[in-house]
Structure 1
Amino acid sequence: MSYEFIKVDFKDGLGSITLNRPPLNVLNIAMMEEINSALESWKGHQDLKLILFRGEGKCFSAGVDVGEHMGDLASKMIEVFHRMFRLMDQIGVPTAASVFGSCLGGGCELAIFCDVVIAADNTKIGQPEIQVGVFPPIAAQLMPRIIGRKAAMDLILTGRVISAQEALEIGLI
């Protein structure tokens, strides 16, 4: 299958999804639907051993398209976004994210949902949505389990973006 915003590869048990929407791999509804299509195609695939997410270009992902957080598109965006995580759960194989540059908002949520996050030294990770009046529901569920309630609330409620080194120190990656 051909995709516009992602590159998909399957070889030797590794299912790879590369975010490819320059310049910042901002996740829009169309891109998330493509990710869901790729994940759906791997359901029940006996040879699948690992799913790897990575980014092409300047960064892993600067997050979900802010314009799709508001108005008529918001409910569709949330539905498609949450479906990614349900599909990853349903497939039931380990997941990994290889991140670099910006790993923010929905991109951060996608990465930290994975079982393993490998981050380049230049990675900046965080949930800045609060700065535009949006609360990150996936991060609000995941981060307290990963790094504890207080550290999670610090990142979620302030929108603070941290370095890969700090993310490693607090156990986020």
Structure 2
Amino acid sequence: MTDRHEVARALTTKFDHFSVEFVERVAVLRIDRPDKLNAIAPVFWSQLRGLIGEFEQDEEVRAVVITGAGDVAFSAGGDLAAFGEDAGIRERRDYMIDAMKGFAAVENASLPIIAAVNGWALGGGCELTMACDFVIASETAQFGMPEAGVGLVPGFGILRAPSIIGRQWTKYMVFANVRIDAGQAFTLGMVQKVVPQEELLTSALDIAARVTEQAPLALSVGKEVIGRGVDSGEFSHAVDALTVLFSTHDLVEGVTAFAERRAPRFEGR
């Protein structure tokens, strides 16, 4: 019989942006950069796709729970310092395509994927919860898409959020850079259950265990039908729009202001 602890250690070594453990038939995937508030570096997306592929090939895995290491953040979003100042438009476009493929991998995975949000879910972290099949949140969770504050928009978020929370709430969160708490997210349909922080993982695992008791082929077919039409081609216009934003003066100013901890001075160019 396969030693599940050894498998988890091997996956954690291979995909070092994450830590992995197995609880019965559930794979628990932690974004494991607590010192950076689990911020997303460019390597995140390829590693996420790689892990999902590993789980799909593992006959003992029937569901996946994604959470963040520590108690503060699920993920605070993109790690701006990790992108580098020398990246050109082509590199930034490639990154956006890579990220969109990551979201698509979560949406299109044959396995049910549950987000257990243990704190801040901002930017790409918030978008990742929207790609998951459903979301369990701690009472401390906060959701936000603050990209416009540095000169961008949440590419996947503006595609998916309207179907989850509606067009106007999407605009409110993106245009006004408004965060919402777990209770508001539950009311809007972003979150399916809110629990105390100390009960989050237990609650997520209990629900995941219920998922593993269902017929796996039926769930796979159901997920495919519910998400029919989701493919990387759908993201092309978002990638094009974001590529343009990556070339603006306002983006440079936004990222610089973020690093210098001051208010940005946007010029609309």
Query: Fold-level match, TM-score > 0.5?
Result: yes
Structure 2 unmatched runs, 5+? 1-9, 192-269
Distance 1:78 1:21, change over 3 A: same
Q: Is the 8 A contact 2:34 2:73 kept in 1?
A: no
Match of 2:135 in 1: 117
Match of 1:159 in 2: 177
State the SS of the aligned residue for 1:10. Answer: strand
Distance 1:79 1:169, change over 3 A: same
Q: Which amino acid aligns with 2:28?
A: S
Deviates more, 1:124-133 or 1:32-41: 32-41
TM-score, normalised with respect to structure 2: 0.59
CA distance in 2, matches of 1:129, 1:69: 17
Match of 2:199 in 1: none
Higher strand share: 1
Match of 1:20 in 2: 32
State the SS of the aligned residue for 1:85. Answer: helix
CA RMSD of the aligned region, Å?
2.0
Q: Is the 8 A contact 1:42 1:48 kept in 2?
A: yes
TM-score, normalised with respect to structure 1: 0.89
Q: Does 1:9 align with 2:21?
A: yes
Q: Is the 8 A contact 2:113 2:134 kept in 1?
A: yes
Deviates more, 1:127-136 or 1:155-164: 155-164
Instruction: Find the structure with the greater CA-based Rg.
Output: 2
Q: Does 1:108 align with 2:164?
A: no
Residue 47 of structure 1, CA deviation? 3.4
Higher helix share: 2
Q: Is the 8 A contact 2:107 2:131 kept in 1?
A: no
Q: Is the 8 A contact 1:6 1:20 kept in 2?
A: yes
Q: Which amino acid aligns with 1:16?
A: V
Q: Does 1:42 align with 2:55?
A: yes
Match of 1:64 in 2: 78
Structure 1 unmatched runs, 5+? none
Q: Is the 8 A contact 1:17 1:35 kept in 2?
A: no
The percent of aligned pairs where both chains have the same amino acid is 26
Match of 1:84 in 2: 102
Distance 1:69 1:122, change over 3 A: farther
Q: Is the 8 A contact 1:126 1:159 kept in 2?
A: yes
Aligned length: 173
Q: Deviations over 1:109-167 (max 9, x none)?
A: 11121111111111111100111111111111111111111111111222211111111
Q: Is the 8 A contact 1:26 1:65 kept in 2?
A: yes
CA distance in 2, matches of 1:164, 1:151: 15
